[in-house]
Amino acid sequence: MKRLILVRHGKSSWDNDLPDHKRPLKKRAYKDAEVVLDAFEHFYQGGAQFWSSYAVRANTTANLFKERLNVKDEDFEVKEELYTFNQNELLNSIRSYSGDRDQLIVFGHNPAMTILVNSLGDKKIDNLPTTGLCVIDFDTDSWQEIRKGKTILTLLPKNLR
């Protein structure tokens, strides 16, 4: 079995005239991460490989999870190819994972995240909002073979406040 956990980055600020990949999180993003983590930490079993887009908003969100869940540095990787808005590129990155972990947590961007949640999982959502999290299990032993899975958990900040 493989477990994919997709997390959209926290709410970002448009206050500064910065390139897209350098936009920081808004204060609300930290509160949203806290409520999602309050629910998720009881579900999380540990031992996952963490991957994050290099964009500031995604990487900061990923680091909030890393700290709260006590993830080791060697289990955390920033990947340039995760700075994508295309679901096929995102899926190809996930399928390229050659490590031995059965859990992969990916921090990335919309619309790729929402489209992937809907195409891989068995429960449709209109939108994976900022700091939204979705867990999908696959009945396979290979990341290269993930196709249609079972959505087992969806955490949306607005439903947890």
Q: Which residue has the tokens 């204060």?
A: 27
pLDDT tens readout for residues 23-32: 999 999 999 9
Q: Distance (Å, rounded) from C-alpha 40 to C-alpha 14?
A: 28
Residue 130 domain-assigned?
Answer: yes
Number of domains in the chain: 1
Residue 98 domain-assigned?
Answer: yes
Residue 142 domain-assigned?
Answer: no
Domain residue limits at 122: 7-13+21-134+152-160
In order, the DSSP letters of 14-38 are: -SS---GGGPPBPHHHHHHHHHHHH
Residue 143 domain-assigned?
Answer: no
Residue 108 domain-assigned?
Answer: yes
pLDDT tens readout for residues 125-155: 999 999 999 999 999 999 999 999 999 999 9
- Give the pTM: 0.97
CATH number of the CATH domain containing 112: 3.40.50.1240
| pLDDT for residue 58 is more than 90 | yes
Q: Which residue has the tokens 């990923």?
A: 62
Residue 67 domain-assigned?
Answer: yes
pLDDT at 13: 92
Specify whether the CB–CB gap between 51 and 77 falls below 8 A. Answer: yes
pLDDT tier for residue 16 given thresholds of 50, 70 and 90: confident
Specify whether the CB–CB gap between 105 and 77 falls below 8 A. Answer: no
Residue 82 domain-assigned?
Answer: yes
